[in-house]
Amino acid sequence: MEKMNPHVVVLGAGFGGLTFCQMFNHRAARVTLFDRQNHHLFQPLLYQVATAGLSAPEIAQPIRSILSDRPNVTVLLDHVTGFDLAAKTVRLEESTLTYDYLVFALGGHTSYFGHPEWEHFAPGLKTLDDAMGIRRRILLAFEKAENASHPAGQDRWMTIVVVGGGPTGVELAAAIAELTRTVLQKDFKRMTLPKRAW
């Protein structure tokens, strides 16, 4: 016999977790949504933050605000440290929670194909911290190129490599090219643009 008030635990408030919480219409069910952040990040626009086209708050919205019309959904900020499928429990940093149904919507992470040392030179673009780090690197490269004493030094600082030709990589490369054309020509006086077809 089915429980009258089943408890559904959702791990992750990305597109999958949020969509589940918005579409799940079992009136008697209690839903608890866990995420490590208190905001939902619109990842397709991270490249805009990384290239100074948007600010971080423009692509991050509070999870509680998004789900404010769902009274059966409780949003909790916590780190999941493990789970026991047989016992139907989720271990958190400070407590353990039982569930009747478990939804995994944890998203993905950048893979370095067994070479974690690459991360220092090629950061991923999955979080706001990633985007802000890339933005710092790009803008600092502009400053270093402006201070370079000859064209070869400028060219070295203005050589930016994007690895990956999926939607994010293509958008990021195009935004960097646009940033180079607009910002470099307007704000940097000592630098000559690389002689490449943008």
Residue 39 in contact with residue 77, Cβ under 8 Å? no
| C-alpha atoms less than 13 angstroms from C-alpha of 168 in its C-beta half-sphere | 16
Count CB-CB contacts under 10 A for residue 185: 10
In the sheet where 96-98 sits, what is the strand order?
A: 80-84, 89-92, 96-98
Q: Is the dihedral of CA 111, 114, 120, 121 positive or negative?
A: negative
- CA distance linking residue 126 with residue 103, whole number of Å: 21
Which residue stretches of the chain are H helix?
A: 15-23, 46-50, 63-66, 128-147, 151-157, 167-179, 185-187
Positions marked active-site: 171
Query: In sequence order, what E strands does 12-72 have?
Result: 30-35, 39-41, 60-62
